[in-house]
Amino acid sequence: EAQVTQNPRYLITVTGKKLTVTCSQNMNHEYMSWYRQDPGLGLRQIYYSMNVEVTDKGDVPEGYKVSRKEKRNFPLILESPSPNQTSLYFCASRRTGAGNTIYFGEGSWLTVV
């Protein structure tokens, strides 16, 4: 089954404790990205990657890092989480040349206290 898998799905952590949200897709997609979803603000792009070792900032990259060492994986790293990073996070992927049909994972609920 074609899917984008995120882990963890739910996490409560404390300010300053580094964490990583993993994302893996099994569709051999070149493009992957991270979005966050907040009430009243909708979904906003954090980072994106057009292929292995090619990453770039989206609209709200502050406080986040990413890496793309393998085509299937695109982890989101919060080096020093703060309460304003409490949000619902989605990983997404798309095949190059497939228009703009982007597929999303199930989401990761992150609470920073």
The position carrying tokens 């703009």 is: 100
Q: Which of 21, 34, 48, 110 binds another protein (CB under 8 A)?
A: 48
Residue closer to another protein (CB basis): 20 or 45: 45
d(CA 100, CA 41): 22
Count of residues near another protein by CB under 8 A: 29
Q: Which of 19, 20, 22, 50 binds another protein (CB under 8 A)?
A: 50
Minimum separation from the CB atom of position 45 to another protein (A)? 5
Helix, strand and coil percent figures for the chain, each rounded to 5: 5, 50, 45
